[in-house]
A and B are shown apart, each in its own frame.
Chain A
Amino acid sequence: MESAVTAKKKWWAGGHSPFNVSYGKLMMWYFLMSDAFTFGAFLIAYGTVRFSSTAWPDPNEVFHSFPFMHGVDWPLVFVSVMTFILIMSSVTMVLAVHAGHHMQKAKVVKWLSWTIVGGIAFLSCQAWEWTHLHEVGAWWGSNPFHNADGSAPMNSNFTDFFFTITGFHGLHVTSGVVLNIIILINVLKGTYEHRGHYEMVEKVGLYWHFVDLVWVFVFTCFYLL
């Protein structure tokens, strides 16, 4: 249906937006593209340093703990829970956007609130993980983990990259939660009901999904590979 319309319209002849999205949404896309390059640069730098190292820690040995379960050896389990939380909060965000399209204020409030809860839950998990790693001696400039081949750590490249990249992602989640709260307040005040559309929810939604997208790559690069 859409493609049929696209074929007939002269998109660049003036009179309507060639991208068929509002200025604000387009700028959000441009921002996310630049942010993708920032994260990409971080992850590629991490990959380069890892490739240039003769030995590297095994993620299954580093990330094997779970809150309130002392001494367990559960590699990947906790970070899978974190991934699930973030994917789930992405779903609630789409549902909020969806409700916004149909001008259902109560539903937007409900789903946006769940998204904020998901974001805070993810940040809490990350706070626990960082605290735990800090307790076992990991921090910027300090790498207590032996390499996968059993050799002693040569430098702190592993922890430096881990804390920098997950920290930068966590910062994005934090600002996402703050943005979501601001938008939720506006929804409650009836700002968008009055404006006639809930496009602001879509814009913060784009940002929120991007944060989820970055996590997918961080998850693979640090915990799986």
Chain B
Amino acid sequence: MENTYSQHTEHEQADVSTKHIWKTFWILLGITVVEVALAFLHLETGFPARWVLNGIFIILTLFKAFFIVAEFMHLGHEVKNLILTILLPLLLFIWFIIAFLYDGESWKNMRKDLAPGTPKVEAPVAKPAHGGH
């Protein structure tokens, strides 16, 4: 809502606002540097474990996304109506990601089970239920 600033506050706001922009820039750059550093650490030492590392990457990515949308795109300073209108539909992604990745995982398991040379897992035969007494 910066375009609604009245004349006399304009110059005071200018400095504060520019500082804010650069602060956001340093945060984004810092997170990226941390990501790359962690990737190198993993390459060299194998630490942290792959799944931990991936979790950290996803969380840091969401952090970056938050700063870009809230500060650079200014959404954090808009009215609540607009913020919710934009963000609520994106919640669908939670379902999309869970459903599709689960589907992919199950395809992989089927491929593994049906691959040539894979021994069939025999269901334990429950004798008492079958044979007549």
Chain A at the B interface: SS class: helix
Which residues from 18 to 40 on chain B have a C-beta closer than 8 Å to any C-beta of chain A?
18, 21-22, 24-25, 28-29, 32, 35-36, 39-40
From B10, B39, B68, B72, give the contact of A60 (CB < 8 A): B39
**Chain A nearest Cβ from B128, distance in angstroms:** 39
Question: Which residue in B81, B89, B105 is a CB contact (below 8 Å) of A52?
Answer: B105
Judging by beta carbons under 8 Å apart, are B32 and A19 in contact? no
List residues 91-118 of chain A with CB under 8 A from any CB of chain B: 91, 93-95, 98, 101-102
Contacts of A87 in B (CB 8 A): 25, 28-29, 32
A101 to chain B minimum Cβ distance, whole angstroms, is 5
Contact with B along A30-43 (1 / 0, CB 8 A): 00010011001100
Q: In the docked arrangement, what's the CA distance between A116 and B74, Å?
A: 21
Q: Which of A95, A199, A216 contacts B65 (CB 8 A)?
A: A216
Cβ–Cβ contact B81 & A210, under 8 A: no
Known: A44-B100, A209-B73, A213-B65. A91 touches B78 (CB 8 A): no
Are A19 and B81 CB-contacts (below 8 A) given A48-B103, A95-B21? yes
Residue in contact with B18 in the complex, picked from A6, A44, A95, A199, CB distance below 8 Å = A95
- Give chain A residues whose Cβ lies under 8 Å from the Cβ of B125: none
Which residue of chain B lies nearest to A91 when distances are taken between CB atoms in the complex? B25
Q: Are A50 and B104 in contact (CB under 8 A)?
A: yes
**A: number of interface residues (CB 8 Å):** 54
Tell me the residues in window 104-128 of chain B with beta carbons closer than 8 Å to chain A beta carbons: 104-105, 107-108, 111-112
Contact residues in B for A50 (Cβ distance below 8 Å): 104
Number of residue pairs spanning A and B whose beta carbons lie under 8 angstroms apart = 138
Among B5, B90, B96, contact of A44 (Cβ-Cβ < 8 Å): B96
B interface residue count range (under 10 / 10 to 19 / 20 to 34 / 35 or more): 35 or more
B3 interface contact, C-beta 8 A: yes
CB distance from A64 to the nearest CB of B (A): 10
**Bound-state Cα–Cα, A213 to B64, Å:** 8
Contact check, B32 vs A83: say whether CB atoms are below 8 A apart.
Answer: yes
Question: Given the interface contacts A33-B86, A83-B32, A94-B72, does A199 sit within 8 Å of B3 by beta carbon?
Answer: yes
Known: A87-B28, A95-B18. 10 other contacts (CB 8 A): A18-B81, A20-B79, A21-B78, A29-B82, A33-B86, A87-B32, A101-B5, A206-B73, A209-B69, A213-B73
List 25 A-B residue pairs with CB atoms under 8 Å apart, sorted by A's residue number.
A2-B77, A20-B79, A29-B86, A33-B89, A44-B93, A44-B96, A44-B100, A48-B100, A48-B104, A49-B104, A52-B104, A52-B107, A52-B111, A54-B111, A84-B29, A91-B21, A93-B72, A95-B18, A98-B21, A101-B3, A102-B14, A213-B73, A216-B65, A220-B57, A224-B35
Q: Which 10 A-B pairs have the closest CB atoms?
A: A51-B104, A52-B107, A48-B104, A52-B104, A19-B82, A220-B61, A48-B100, A209-B72, A91-B25, A20-B79
